[in-house]
């Protein structure tokens, strides 16, 4: 088979395999952060959000002022390109997971194709390409791309809709590299200039997709120098425009931090922009922990067992811990061993690609697994781009074994056959892993079983049970979560809500009071306490606590609605109308707006009837 036919066939196989693997997930529901950042996020449904509503400073704190997760505004400022694709999805098909997930699957397939093309360009365009046969070039490129496509570790970046952040950033990561390679191998100056500027534009757009693309200039240096065989001085000169793009991400982070801290900017605040912990040592502990996490990711790439949406990962607190020392030694051993193997035959393209891929694995993890503290110690989608380096290095090793067998006529088809079985096993594992994403109950049951000492899986499992009409099971999960973490505010809020919902007002009052000892500023607990008092027939106390909830959060729509109802029942229509109108002006809970407008019209009618007939109005 000639090269062009092989390349076309490979691309078709990658697309078809991706569609077959993930096509059945289209109808799976939204899960976890999909609700926070998409379904319940009014900002992503408003096109004005992409110009920050005309006021950057106000937009940086808007989600917090709306009673939403404060990270939403930060996210939309730092990753506007991804949110724009979410907005287009919403405009075209509404909040239907099928459309969102179809785009995710298409991006993942495109990434596999791009990886295949990047590796072909690297190996065929390298000054060391004479050391490899055309068969090796095609085998390495196709095997790495296929492994990337079918690996079960990727499910979190594909099936988990909101993690389009990761897969789309990988698209621009690979597209930037491919355009760069084409630019410097083009025969025409015009073609070279076009692809060079396309590459730079891809990097800029990618940086506005997710912060992961900060690594691209360093990856380009590694690939151009080690694999392509270009002298380092020339490589550094070529990549100057890419390094000049690096301030984009820090500038956005600093500007957002400045806006969120009332004009007070600091590097420390910017580095901790997504860090929810008050512990001043968390950044140091996080960095130590990531030395182990990068090896855990590598272990999952090699043996994808025990995949988990919410990992229970130990926090390292000392450089002298054996876990940390062992991780440092292992990382040094991996990098040192890869360098030594490359150094012995630097003219070998396969060894060069292997060493470069090992370096790229660690470089591409640096944005999330280094000194910038993130809330979760280990999350599978963080290594989506890093798997490119790890799996490419693995493909190089498999090809070395394949050529060794072929040269000795020792079952030359044994290695390709074993690789085929390996691919099929990974595909089966991916299908099995995707089944966990079929429902939130299945996903969180799996996570709770694998992270038994972590409260978050139990909290989310409880919410899933409640949403599926199983309040008793949900409340049991909330109680278990509170046993693990007695000061868990969300646990008290959820449990109090469900006690009120099921009519256990006395128990709801008790839960709210206990929770308020830990969180005296919790608007939700004040609200639930007010609801409990109302359910117990203590109207005056109920009004008092609803007002306290509003004092803590003036935009708490449910409290305004509740007061509107209570004042209506008390026939205090002016007060009822005031709270109903405030509720109507708030952007959340839009599903209640039609009923709310009806209530306002009814109250206005009652007010008018009490005041007498309206004055006649003349027509112009």
Residue pLDDT, tens place only, 420-462: 999 999 999 999 999 999 999 999 999 999 999 999 999 999 9
Among candidate residues 372, 405, 436, the one where a domain is terminated: 436
- Give the range among 196-200, 272-276, 383-387 with minimum mean pLDDT: 272-276
Let me know whether 298 and 163 are in one domain.
Answer: yes
Q: Which residues of 124-152 are buried (b: 16+ CB within 10 A; e: fewer)?
A: bebebbebbeeebbbbbbbbbbbbbbbbb
Q: Does the residue 66 lie in any domain?
A: no
Please tell me the predicted confidence (pLDDT) of residue 617.
30
- What's this model's pTM, rounded to 2 decimal places? 0.88
Give CA–CA dist 457/452, Å, rounded: 8
C-alpha dist (Å) from residue 254 to 206, 245, 267: 19, 15, 7
117 close to 125: Cβ distance less than 8 angstroms: no
Please tell me the predicted confidence (pLDDT) of residue 88.
97
pLDDT category at 75 given cuts 50, 70, 90 is very high
Q: Which structural domain, as residue segments, surrounds residue 566? A: 554-613
Q: Is 613's pLDDT higher than 50?
A: no
- Mean per-residue pLDDT, 81-94: 96
Instruction: Give me the DSSP letters along 152-174.
Output: GGGHHHHTSGGGHHHHHHHHHHH
Q: Compute φ and ψ for 243, nearest 5 degrees.
A: -70, -30
pLDDT digits (tens, 9 = 90+) for 293-323: 999 999 999 999 999 999 999 999 999 999 9
- Give the range among 214-223, 495-504, 605-614 with minimum mean pLDDT: 605-614
312 close to 319: Cβ distance less than 8 angstroms: no
Q: Does the residue 140 lie in any domain?
A: yes
pLDDT category at 407 given cuts 50, 70, 90 is confident
Let me know whether 180 and 313 are in one domain.
Answer: yes
Give CA–CA dist 513/175, Å, rounded: 55
Q: Is 404's pLDDT higher than 90?
A: no
Q: Does the residue 39 lie in any domain?
A: no
Q: Does the residue 544 lie in any domain?
A: no
Q: Does the residue 77 lie in any domain?
A: no
Contacts of 495 (CB under 8 A, 6+ apart): 475, 478, 479, 482, 511
Please count the residues of the chain: 620
- Mean per-residue pLDDT, 197-209: 97
Please tell me the predicted confidence (pLDDT) of residue 593.
53
Q: Is 612's pLDDT higher than 60?
A: no
Among candidate residues 406, 436, 466, the one where a domain is terminated: 436
Q: Is 78's pLDDT higher than 60?
A: yes
Let me know whether 427 and 560 are in one domain.
Answer: no
- Give the range among 222-226, 373-377, 571-575, 609-613 with minimum mean pLDDT: 609-613
- Give the range among 188-192, 255-259, 545-549, 592-596 with minimum mean pLDDT: 592-596
Give CA–CA dist 580/565, Å, rounded: 9
Among candidate residues 436, 455, 471, the one where a domain is terminated: 436
Q: For residue 310, which of 492, 443, 434 has the smallest C-alpha distance?
A: 443
What percentage of the chain exceeds 70 in pLDDT?
94
Let me know whether 561 and 432 are in one domain.
Answer: no
Q: Is 590's pLDDT higher than 70?
A: no
Q: Is 610's pLDDT higher than 50?
A: no
Give CA–CA dist 180/423, Å, rounded: 30
Please tell me the predicted confidence (pLDDT) of residue 616.
34
Q: Does the residue 489 lie in any domain?
A: no
Contacts of 90 (CB under 8 A, 6+ apart): 44, 45
Q: Does the residue 458 lie in any domain?
A: no
Please tell me the predicted confidence (pLDDT) of residue 601.
58
- Output the average pLDDT for the chain: 90
- Mean per-residue pLDDT, 317-337: 96
Q: Is 121's pLDDT higher than 90?
A: yes
Q: Does the residue 170 lie in any domain?
A: yes
The structural domain count of the chain equals 2
């Amino acid at each position: 088979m000639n090269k062009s036919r092989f390349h076309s066939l490979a691309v078709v196989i990658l697309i078809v395999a991706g569609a077959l693997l993930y096509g059945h997930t289209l109808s799976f529901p939204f899960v976890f952060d999909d609700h926070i950042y998409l379904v319940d996020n009014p900002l992503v449904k408003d096109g004005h959000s992409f110009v920050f509503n005309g006021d950057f400073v106000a937009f940086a704190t808007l989600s917090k002022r709306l009673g939403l997760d404060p990270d939403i505004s930060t996210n939309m400022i730092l990753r506007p390109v991804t949110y724009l694709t979410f907005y287009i999805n919403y405009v075209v098909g509404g909040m239907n997971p099928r459309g969102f997930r179809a785009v995710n699957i298409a991006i993942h397939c495109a990434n596999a194709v791009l990886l295949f093309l990047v590796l072909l360009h690297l190996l065929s365009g390298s000054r060391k390409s004479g050391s490899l046969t055309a068969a090796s070039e095609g085998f390495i490129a196709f095997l790495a791309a296929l492994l990337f496509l079918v690996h079960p570790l990727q499910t979190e970046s594909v099936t988990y809709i909101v993690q389009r952040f990761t897969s789309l950033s990988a698209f621009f990561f690979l597209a930037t590299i491919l355009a760069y390679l084409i630019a410097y191998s083009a025969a025409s100056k015009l073609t070279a200039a076009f692809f060079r500027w396309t590459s730079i534009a891809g990097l800029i757009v990618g940086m506005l997709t997710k912060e992961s693309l900060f690594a691209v200039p360093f990856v380009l240096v590694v690939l151009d120098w080690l694999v392509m065989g270009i002298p380092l001085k020339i490589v550094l000169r070529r990549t100057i425009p890419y390094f000049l793009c690096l301030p984009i991400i820090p500038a956005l982070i600093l500007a957002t931090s400045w806006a969120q801290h009332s004009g007070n900017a600091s590097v420390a605040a910017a580095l901790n922009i997504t860090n929810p912990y008050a512990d001043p040592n968390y950044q140091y502990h996080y960095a130590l922990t990531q030395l182990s996490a990068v090896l855990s990711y590598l272990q999952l790439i090699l043996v994808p067992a025990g995949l988990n949406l919410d990992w229970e990962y130990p926090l390292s607190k000392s450089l002298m811990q054996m876990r940390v020392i062992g991780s440092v030694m292992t990382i040094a051993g991996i990098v040192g061993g890869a360098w030594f193997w490359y150094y012995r035959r630097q003219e070998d393209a396969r060894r060069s690609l292997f060493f470069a891929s090992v370096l790229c694995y660690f470089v591409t993890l640096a944005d999330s697994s280094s000194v910038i503290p993130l809330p979760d110690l280990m999350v599978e989608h963080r290594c989506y781009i890093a798997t490119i380096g790890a799996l490419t290095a693995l493909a190089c090793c498999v090809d070395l074994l394949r050529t060794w067998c072929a040269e000795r006529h020792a079952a030359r088809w044994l290695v390709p056959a074993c690789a085929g079985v390996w691919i099929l096993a990974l595909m089966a594992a991916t299908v099995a892993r995707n089944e966990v994403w079929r429902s939130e109950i299945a996903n969180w049951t799996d996570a709770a079983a694998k992270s038994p000492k972590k409260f978050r899986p139990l909290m989310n499992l409880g919410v899933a049970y409640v949403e599926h009409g199983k309040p008793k099971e949900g409340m049991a999960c909330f109680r278990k979560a509170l046993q693990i973490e007695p000061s868990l505010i969300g646990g008290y809020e959820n449990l109090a809500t469900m006690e009120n919902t099921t009519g256990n007002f006395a128990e709801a009052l008790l839960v709210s009071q206990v929770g308020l000892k830990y969180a005296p500023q919790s608007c939700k607990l004040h609200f639930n306490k007010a609801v409990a008092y109302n359910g117990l027939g203590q109207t005056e106390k109920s009004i008092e606590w609803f007002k306290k909830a509003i004092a803590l959060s003036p935009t708490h729509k449910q409290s305004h609605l509740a007061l509107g109802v209570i004042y209506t029942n008390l026939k205090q229509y002016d007060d009822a109308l005031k709270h109903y109108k405030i509720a109507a002006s708030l952007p959340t809970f839009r599903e209640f707006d039609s009923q709310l407008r009806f209530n306002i019209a009814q109250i206005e009618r009652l007010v008018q009837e009490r005041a007498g007939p309206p004055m006649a109005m003349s027509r112009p």
